[in-house]
Amino acid sequence: MATKKKATNSNILSIDIGGTSIKTVLLDENGNMLTEYLKSKTPAEATPKDILTGIVDLIKPFPLTYDRVSIGFPGYVKNGIVKTAPNLAKNKWEDVDLAQRVANALNKSVRLVNDADQQGLGVVEGKGFEIVFTVGTGFGTALLFDGELLPHLELAHFPINKEEDYDDYIGNKAFEKIGTERWNKRLRKVIEIYKTVFNYDTLYIGGGNSKQIDFKLDDNIKLVTNRDGIKGGAKLWKLADKYNIFTVEPKS
């Protein structure tokens, strides 16, 4: 059930679901980490049941000192409903009410957004037009202006040539196939395209393969970590209703 009700406890369980791993940490309302940062492997071809089980198992060590949950998900999300999940199980994620399922399982209030959007909230400085790349299993993007999220666009699925979209071109499967040198050349090309098209003030690059970057970045490009990005789970609960991000409450 989607509502605008506020939870009473200020602590937030922040979860980042990726094609490779599920990460989580307990945050205070200002994004400070209150527990160790934990992660576990995402099952291959993960179904909704796999992800829910993975979340429940991963958070077992955490104290129940939170009433709010933030989830970053690798796909398109609308009002707590997953529409796409290109790097998880095929044909298993269309119109999945993941926020409701997590809310029911944990008996907590849940907000669910795209994973790059959550990471963007955690890493940007809030000055001008900022873009976030996540280069991991796939290619994720988030757009923010003066620290506020712009509508999410699945830019990863724009074609970059006749045969590939950005996910195919710069995702982990491409990295494993073509190797570090060619992958870096491709990333350079993607950055140049974004510089020309978007004229961003700052670009942030995170995700597991960001550590493979071997060329000098422009002064307005910054590398960030998943640990930085998961802190966006706190800011997610400060977003106004205008973002159309609703709180999903557990059903009794």
* Domain range annotation of the chain: 2-118+229-248, 123-225
Task: Identify residue 17 by its one-letter amino acid code.
Answer: I
The CA angle 1-54-11, to the nearest 5 degrees, is: 60
Name the CATH code of domain 2-118+229-248 (choices 3.30.420.40, 3.10.180.10, 3.40.50.300, 3.90.950.20). Answer: 3.30.420.40
90 vs 9 pLDDT, higher one:
90
Using DSSP, state whether 153 is helix, strand or coil.
coil
Q: pLDDT tier at 7 (50, 70, 90 boundaries)?
A: very low
Comparing 2-118+229-248 with 123-225, is the CATH topology the same? yes
Average pLDDT over residues 134-146: 95
Separation between Cα atoms, residue 191 and residue 149, nearest integer Å: 20
Average pLDDT, the chain: 92
Report d(CA 35, CA 38) in Å as an integer.
9
Q: Rounded distance, CA 107 to CA 232, Å?
A: 22
Average pLDDT score over residue span 225-230: 91
pTM over 0.85: yes
Q: What's residue 6's pLDDT?
A: 44
**pLDDT 10s digits, 42-87:** 999 999 999 999 999 999 999 999 999 999 999 999 988 999 999 9
The CATH code belonging to domain 123-225 is: 3.30.420.40
